[in-house]
Structure 1
Amino acid sequence: MLTLKDKLTLPTVGLTGFETPLSEIEVAVQDSVHRFAREVLRPIGQELDRMTAEEVIAPGSPYYSVFAEVAKLGLDTGAFGELDADVAVRLESLIGEELGWGDAGLGVSVAVAGFPIEMARAAGNQELVDLCTGRIGCWMITHPDKGSDVGAFDLQREWVPGAPGNKGNMFAKVGADEIVISGQCSAWVSNGAVAQVALGYLTADYGDGYFGADGRPNGVAAIIPLDLPGVSRGKPLEKIGQRSLPQGEIYFDNVRIPRRFAISLKDEYYGSVASAWSYAGTHMSQLFTGVARSAFEMALAYCHERKQGGQLLIDHQLTRYRLGDMMRRVELCRGVARRSLAYARLTPQGHPWATASAKVTVTEEAERVVLEAFRLFGGNGTTREYPIEKLVRDVRAALIEDGENTMLTTRLGYLVQQLYADGWAQN
């Protein structure tokens, strides 16, 4: 219904832009997480960015204080299930955006830290929930020689005919009572350098070999404590961006866990992979909406301070266009991110490539916003005196993180090919 105003006013706008009205609970949560992002994540992220990877994970590093501060927020996503679905989705989106606004690397670290316990809850396994409680987690799925191949679900369309799939570098022998793990994950595992527990996805032999009849590797998903005999670590990874996110290899030498620590066995493995990726991939979209918004806000403030041509940058017509275009792209990121989140959480038959398509859109648009902000800063943007240069480095990493964008888009193409063959879009 049309609503008439009796005078011209500025539009309603909040931390998350042109937002529909928030409830009291939503406002309280948003304000609390924004304060945490401003007072904890951003300054600690900037401090960690200037440290070596070894210093970031060393005892006494400010990195670890982030988790104590997260605990004080009292935001247990396990309680989201008690809320109305649309409220839970918006709250999760608001929280993710604020974390990304504060610091991309720490935002990813905080999100991934809780992934094992989220999976344990989804599996309804209280023993594993208790095992993960209070521990920093990681999601261990990528291998040194099996990067993008982890997502090679459609061997018929994207694989060498007649060749088996990629076995990778992490293996499990699944017995009647225990699982024996050998090999290593890749250096790109987020929190891999510090995690105390892992949600691991491993190629598995159940006594009949590592490959199924269709050539896909058999697998097992399990919760793996990382303080067991036979577990060791590589050096933490030195990176150009998201340096506050500790990444590194984890090695396994005949590490034994009870079979009951498995989340998904042979027949359920690929369904579990799809569910995990659909769930986890949503975080990237929310977080990098926050990064785009952060860059926009930095540029907006700078254009009200810096003078060129005898006047403030904001008073130049082209500057207004550039800021307007940035704002438009931030809103695009937010809309795509939240729609993807709702689809992943509320649709029983979700799919990782549906989620990944949003990740691609958001990170590509976020990069455009960040680079435009960087250019508005001019030469100042290249110096460490201004935080925009850190955002340039952080957002570049996102184009590869959680799947390289070109490969993810190609796999979306495989998916629509499969859907069309199943009858979609033929009416």
Structure 2
Amino acid sequence: MFEFDEVPLPKLGLTGLEGVMSEEELAIQGMAHRFAAEVMRPIAEKLDKMDHEAAVAEDSPIWEFLEKIEESGLLDLAAIAGMSNEEKARIIPIIFEELAWGDSGLAMGYLVSKFPAFAAYNTGDAEIIERFGHLRGCWAATQPDRGCDLVDIEASECHPGERQGRGNLVARIEGDEVVINGQTSAWVSGAPIAQSALLYSQFDDGDGIYNEDGSHKYVGILVPFDIPGVTKGKPLDKMGMRALCQGEIYFDNARVPLKYMIADADQGYSSFFGALTFANMEMGISFTGVARAALDHALAYVHERKQGGTEIINHQTVRARLFKMHQKVEACRAMAKRVFDYNYGPNGPHLLASATSKTYVTDTCVEVCSEAIQLFGGNGLTREYPLEKLFRDARASQIADGENNMLGLKAATWLSKAYKDKNGL
């Protein structure tokens, strides 16, 4: 049992109930927090209120953010690549919780801008690294009428007797080139300002795009945008995460070298599975940061706002609700970090783990933001205060990187498969 000479105040770190952190981890956390507070929040506030086309124009503050985060070195690819898995499991979540505490849209946008470069470095091919390693990118996978169907890429959730609908983005091989035709959905994060894409496309190998089970043949391709046949649509006007610019990409007989197909039809599903597993893992820790931001604002406000002759923190119901918010944020962080440990540990990574975190955290983040608005009362509904923006951002997270109900179905399917395998069923 624990013994005290006198009852102390709780010692809380930036994220609340922090355990042991090394000096390096505390320094990284402090650096990321200052960047989030001093750079990201002011820029995100401006972008949130801007027209969606102005937000990606030449004079947009988005370019200031991109310049400053590159200068910060917070997400240096070479440094991250040189970390052990144990270091990645501890340091990456520290960074992304703080960045998303600053603004989830900017944090997510910068993350996906590195996806093509990450994929290029993973090939180990010097030519591909030279071509894509320095380009600002995006992750392009969904298509019109192919959102949840893409998350269910192996078609396990198709209606009995049916197969998935045909999307309009198709790649095929001609000689030593890959030819791409069609368009992505309007939800490609970072597309309006991207110079390249990690593109997942339906693939026609000469026998059509369907496998025998009704799923699609899929490939992963690195595509530079400075080639003929690639154009972009207008930036998407949307409700939440407005600092994360999104838009469609059009391909009209766009041709790239065959070696840019980094995942062929035999590898396409597993490659996309890996990207989705990473993205869901990051969503979990990032929206822990958003929930914490809502809690922080609420905690400050209830010590200032007076009703009933006193600051509202002195009302029992307010304290009870505030504690529930604190409890939920701590639960989100515990789950999100556990998933990092699993994915970078000997048993991972797997989408079951990442989807567990992503769905729980984003659903809970909506609850925390909603309760924070309630504590703010009418002020929480105005754009003068930050809560309505946080709520919009949180609500978008339940759909981004896989709609939560579909992710839950996929996770339950994997849970069942693991049970059957373990019990010989």
Q: Same fold (TM over 0.5)?
A: yes
- The aligned counterpart of 2:151 is 151
Residue 140, structure 1, aligned to residue 134, structure 2: no
Residue 95, structure 1, aligned to residue 95, structure 2: yes
For structure 2, the 5+ residue unaligned runs are none
- How far off is 1:349 after superposition? 5.0
- How far off is 1:164 after superposition? 3.9
Separation (CA, whole Å) in 2 of partners of 1:266 and 1:288: 33
Separation (CA, whole Å) in 2 of partners of 1:134 and 1:62: 21
Distance 1:425 1:409, change over 3 A: farther
- How far off is 1:162 after superposition? 4.7
- The aligned counterpart of 2:331 is 332
- The aligned counterpart of 2:179 is 180
RMSD of the TM alignment (CA)? 1.8
Matched residue type, 1:394? D
**Aligned 1:290-301 pairs, distance under 5 A:** 290-301=289-300
- How far off is 1:335 after superposition? 0.8
- How far off is 1:416 after superposition? 2.2
Indicate if the aligned counterparts of 1:146 and 1:169 stay in contact, CA closer than 8 A.
Answer: no
Separation (CA, whole Å) in 1 of partners of 2:231 and 2:317: 55
Indicate if the aligned counterparts of 1:78 and 1:118 stay in contact, CA closer than 8 A.
Answer: no
- The aligned counterpart of 1:191 is 190
- The aligned counterpart of 2:287 is 288
**1:363-418, CA deviations, whole angstroms, 9 ceiling, x for partnerless residues?**
01111110100000001111111111111111111111111111211222222232
**1:331-375, CA deviations, whole angstroms, 9 ceiling, x for partnerless residues?**
011011111222223346533243112101000111111010000
Residue 319, structure 1, aligned to residue 318, structure 2: yes
**1:59-92, CA deviations, whole angstroms, 9 ceiling, x for partnerless residues?**
1210111111111111314423433433321110
- The aligned counterpart of 1:35 is 34
- The aligned counterpart of 2:251 is 252
**1:12-39, CA deviations, whole angstroms, 9 ceiling, x for partnerless residues?**
3211111112111111111111111001
Residue 112, structure 1, aligned to residue 95, structure 2: no
Separation (CA, whole Å) in 2 of partners of 1:89 and 1:417: 27
Indicate if the aligned counterparts of 2:86 and 2:344 stay in contact, CA closer than 8 A.
Answer: no
Distance 1:216 1:41, change over 3 A: same
User: Which range moves more in the overlay, 342-351 or 92-101?
Assistant: 342-351
Separation (CA, whole Å) in 2 of partners of 1:235 and 1:345: 38
Q: Give SS of 2:208's match.
A: coil
Separation (CA, whole Å) in 2 of partners of 1:126 and 1:297: 46
Indicate if the aligned counterparts of 2:99 and 2:107 stay in contact, CA closer than 8 A.
Answer: yes
**1:79-129, CA deviations, whole angstroms, 9 ceiling, x for partnerless residues?**
234334333211100111011100111111011111111122222233223
User: Which range moves more in the overlay, 209-218 or 183-192?
Assistant: 209-218
Indicate if the aligned counterparts of 2:352 and 2:415 stay in contact, CA closer than 8 A.
Answer: no
Percentage identity across paired residues of the two chains: 43
Separation (CA, whole Å) in 2 of partners of 1:402 and 1:347: 25
- The aligned counterpart of 1:130 is 130
Separation (CA, whole Å) in 1 of partners of 2:114 and 2:241: 19
Indicate if the aligned counterparts of 2:281 and 2:358 stay in contact, CA closer than 8 A.
Answer: yes
Q: Give SS of 1:158's match.
A: coil
For structure 1, the 5+ residue unaligned runs are none
- The aligned counterpart of 1:376 is 375
Matched residue type, 2:131? L
Indicate if the aligned counterparts of 2:172 and 2:204 stay in contact, CA closer than 8 A.
Answer: yes
Distance 1:225 1:424, change over 3 A: farther
Matched residue type, 2:85? A
- How far off is 1:425 after superposition? 9.6
Separation (CA, whole Å) in 2 of partners of 1:215 and 1:406: 22
How many matched pairs? 424
Separation (CA, whole Å) in 2 of partners of 1:349 and 1:381: 41
- How far off is 1:141 after superposition? 0.5
Indicate if the aligned counterparts of 2:230 and 2:252 stay in contact, CA closer than 8 A.
Answer: yes
Separation (CA, whole Å) in 2 of partners of 1:102 and 1:425: 48
Residue 344, structure 1, aligned to residue 349, structure 2: no
**1:258-317, CA deviations, whole angstroms, 9 ceiling, x for partnerless residues?**
011111111111111111111121111111101000000000000111000011011111
Q: Give SS of 1:172's match.
A: strand
User: Which range moves more in the overlay, 336-345 or 208-217?
Assistant: 208-217
- How far off is 1:194 after superposition? 1.4
Q: Give SS of 2:191's match.
A: coil
Separation (CA, whole Å) in 1 of partners of 2:35 and 2:265: 42
- The aligned counterpart of 1:121 is 121
- The aligned counterpart of 2:384 is 385
Separation (CA, whole Å) in 2 of partners of 1:192 and 1:425: 46
Indicate if the aligned counterparts of 1:143 and 1:168 stay in contact, CA closer than 8 A.
Answer: yes
Distance 1:246 1:153, change over 3 A: closer
Distance 1:347 1:165, change over 3 A: farther
Distance 1:154 1:200, change over 3 A: closer
Distance 1:43 1:399, change over 3 A: same
